[in-house]
Structure 1
Amino acid sequence: MITSYQYRLKPNYEQRCRLTRWLDMLRCQYNWLLAERFDWWEMNRTTVNACPNTCSIAEPKEQPEYYGQKRYLVQLKQERPGYQDIHAHVLQEVVKRVNLAFQRFLKGDSNGKRSGKPRFKGKNRYRTITFPSIKPDCIQGNRIIFPKFGAIKFIQHRPTPDGFIIKRALITKKADGWYVTLTLEDKSVPNNPTVDIKPTEDNSLGVDAGLEYFAACSDGTLVKPPKFYRQSENNLGKLQSQRDLRAIGSKARRKLNQRIARLHQRIVRQRKQWHYEVAGQLLDRADVVFIEDLKVSNMARRNKPKQDEEGNFLPNGQSAKSGLNKSFADAGIAGFLNEILPDKAEKAGKRVIKVNPAGTSQHCAVCLNRVSKSLSERWHDCPHCGASMPRDLCSGILIKKVGLGIASLKNAKSRKRDGEARALIYD
């Protein structure tokens, strides 16, 4: 099993200056390696039959690749003696980071999803120093020892678990200081333990995630989102307005940027803490939690432009969609459903099962007949059985039935038979 613990570092003035210098040197090396790949790619990616008739012939150059750029680090230390102060493994991690970013741009990840074009790192945009290997006994009292750097004081608010070995360390610069993330491993504990819990009517819970109610549970519980960003939006706007009045590069502008960054950090931490609390409350009430397999990125996608016959652009509702996208980001639904809730359930020995979201908001949870509703209609009134409840609560109950196999949504379409909505099929 592999897990991570994060602690706050308390470096002194000299150590802070050295860490900042390391980050700046690593950032420059990252940009140089990335530029080398871009230069070769621009000169060699065009096919022969697509070349212009007259052009300058570039000298043949070996394609930059992972191992070739790693071998160049020896020459780098000879040409620039300042890099001799940085551990060799730290420099090699920069090459690995560039290779990963470029490969995702060209080929995509394991699922075939390609990332955008890698960008050069500006100042204060490169924040992490990676030590891929570190001694298991690096923690000595209230200090942690890093290779070729020395001991740095840190706040060990919780001890590392017994049986776990420290494999690597990441030093990160955040808005409020420096932090270290330790990767711990225990080979005796499986990474993905098998949880053999059969869902039943009593031990399961259906949860519908949304914006009006962050979590609408099948047992009638409705959890409203606290909207941490919306609460701090006025303070954030005031600070940004003050920052824009300051001269670029001035000390006053830099201090206001730090205050804005700390406010954003506070919002993120509040949201994450609240997510873990909600996940714990849900798992306390059930051993199996059914959720929708939502694609929040598709829900927040930009609307397609509309044009008339003359080519003029027409209103497409994007201005209204912008506020909705901000609410999606403020709620953090994707991170809660895909990361926090499954991780919390795995550690608690419980299950999270995703179901197909098709039709869960357009059918009655009691009689299973189709009741079409627009997005603005937030109340469910069934003309067939007379059920009346909040729309999200109806969806939560139906998600549980679909997860248990009581109802099937395979044929949940808008076709009608004999003037009435077709009911779902009981299994």
Structure 2
Amino acid sequence: MRTAYQYKLRPTKQQATEIDRWLSMLCSQYNYLLADRFNWYEQNRCPINACPLICYLPELRDNPDYYSQKKTLPNLKKTHPHYSDIHSQVLQDVVKRVKVTFDRFLGGDSNGKRSGRPRFKSRDRYRTFTYPQMKDDCIQGSLINLPKLGNIKVILHRPIPDGFKTKTASVTKKADGYYITLSLEDPTVPTIKPNINPESITGIDLGLKEFLTTSDGEPVAIPQHYRKSQKRLRVIQKRVSRRKKGSNRRRKAVKQLGKQHKKVADKRKDFHFKTALRLLSKYDVVVHEDLNVKGLVMSRQALSMHDAGWSSFLSILSNKAENAGLLVIAVNPKNTSQDCSSCGMKVPKKLHERWHSCQCGCSLDRDHNAAINIKNRALGHRVLKAKSLLSNSRIVLEAYTVLVESV
């Protein structure tokens, strides 16, 4: 299993200047390799299935693939000697990034979904470079040894667990400084806990009035980090727009705006992790709706949905549950707010109607009713059924053992 730990770097002024120089050179090489692929693609493609009698014949050459572009790097270091200052594997990783980007444009990812046309990157948008291989003892005390950059101070806010192997390291420049992301390999494979309790289950209904409501009726207030910081962001954004493009004052304002946006994103991420931890420490099984968040944000409430960060939260919840050996189940979201959780009868409600009231006497909050429906739909899930049968068989076996011993 792979996991990633991110730490803050504290480079010296000389090291920070060298990192910025690397990023600038790598950005230029990335754009050059991407342009080489586009040139071949434009010259060798035809929009129709037949060629005209008179046509332009491009220069015949092989398709620039990963290996052919990788072979150009030794010549690059001869024509541009300053590229020799960059670690060879970091330079090779740029070729890999171009390959992955272009392959997704032409053929799609593992699910067959094609990405948009790759864009050339400005120097402000190329912010990360990767070491594909790292030594296990690269961290000594509060220093990390990065080849050709030297020992850089790192803030180890949490230790690397014993037995984890360091596979790759990515250095990223963000608005408030430099970070390093270590990709760690854990030899153990997480499995579902054998003593999981199928009765310790809850359904959660995500919303905009409350961030989520559990099937027990417990709401979690929505923090609205972006909404609360909009006033400050508006002031800084005006400051950016009023200053002359290319000036140092505008560059400082842009940096200040980036820091403010990062502060909002960090607050939201911290809230997601704490909420997921609170749910998983109380319940063994968490059930949520299988939401099409991309489709939902195509509405007037897009800003509030982005501020809530449902997709990010569900991803964090699933990953943390998998590592803990717990279950997170996604169910069909159709009519969870309309159906009655007591009798199953459909009670149509508009979006502004926040109270569910049915003829059977069931009267409760709309989100609470939806959370109960979500929980009930999970009871027929095959994984939960298997765990329930396993738990029941264990209880019967224990009762039989006690009976035999008493006889």
Unmatched runs of 5 consecutive residues or more in structure 2: 382-407
Contact 2:196 2:326 in 1 (8 A): no
Distance 1:48 1:280, change over 3 A: closer
CA positional deviation for 1:265: 0.3
* One of 200, 208, 211 as aligned partner of 2:208: 211
Residue 380 of structure 1 corresponds to 356
Contact 1:134 1:147 in 2 (8 A): no
Contact 2:133 2:168 in 1 (8 A): yes
Contact 2:289 2:331 in 1 (8 A): yes
Contact 2:205 2:368 in 1 (8 A): yes
CA positional deviation for 1:333: 0.4
Q: Does 1:363 align with 2:339?
A: yes
CA positional deviation for 1:94: 0.5
* One of 323, 329, 335 as aligned partner of 2:306: 329
- Cα distance in 2 for partners of 1:186, 1:285 equals 26
Q: Give the helix-richer structure, 1 or 2.
A: 2
CA positional deviation for 1:33: 0.7
Q: Deviations over 1:100-133 (max 9, x none)?
A: 1111111111111111111110121001110011
Residue 127 of structure 2 corresponds to 127
Structure 2 counterpart of 1:149, one-letter code: L
Residue 318 of structure 1 corresponds to none
Structure 2 counterpart of 1:342, one-letter code: S
Q: Deviations over 1:384-411 (max 9, x none)?
A: 21222221111000111111139xxxxx
CA positional deviation for 1:285: 2.2
Contact 1:7 1:180 in 2 (8 A): yes
Structure 2 counterpart of 1:193, one-letter code: T
CA positional deviation for 1:283: 1.5
Q: Does 1:265 align with 2:242?
A: no
Contact 2:273 2:316 in 1 (8 A): yes
Residue 145 of structure 2 corresponds to 145
Q: Does 1:7 align with 2:12?
A: no
* One of 322, 330, 354 as aligned partner of 1:346: 322
Residue 425 of structure 1 corresponds to none
- Cα distance in 1 for partners of 2:289, 2:195 equals 19
CA positional deviation for 1:178: 0.5
Residue 159 of structure 1 corresponds to 159
- Cα distance in 2 for partners of 1:375, 1:3 equals 40
Q: Deviations over 1:196-255 (max 9, x none)?
A: 46664x310011112122111100101121100000011101111111111111111111
Residue 243 of structure 1 corresponds to 240
Residue 317 of structure 1 corresponds to none
**Residues 297-312 of structure 1 mapped to structure 2, 5 A cutoff:** 297-301=294-298
CA positional deviation for 1:180: 0.8
- Cα distance in 1 for partners of 2:262, 2:214 equals 30
- Cα distance in 2 for partners of 1:82, 1:333 equals 45
Please state whether the residue corresponding to 2:110 is helix, strand or coil: coil
CA positional deviation for 1:52: 4.6
TM (normalized to structure 2)? 0.90
Structure 2 counterpart of 1:275, one-letter code: H
Residue 180 of structure 1 corresponds to 180
Contact 2:192 2:327 in 1 (8 A): no
Distance 1:90 1:395, change over 3 A: same
Residue 21 of structure 2 corresponds to 21
CA positional deviation for 1:377: 2.3
Residue 225 of structure 1 corresponds to 222
Deviant stretches of 4+, over 6 Å: none
* One of 273, 280, 302 as aligned partner of 1:276: 273
- Cα distance in 1 for partners of 2:14, 2:26 equals 18
CA positional deviation for 1:47: 5.9
- Cα distance in 2 for partners of 1:114, 1:168 equals 27
- Cα distance in 1 for partners of 2:50, 2:19 equals 48
Contact 2:139 2:145 in 1 (8 A): yes
Residue 398 of structure 1 corresponds to 373
Contact 1:132 1:169 in 2 (8 A): yes
**Residues 60-79 of structure 1 mapped to structure 2, 5 A cutoff:** 60-79=60-79
CA positional deviation for 1:161: 1.0
What is the percent sequence identity of the aligned residues? 49
CA positional deviation for 1:195: 3.7
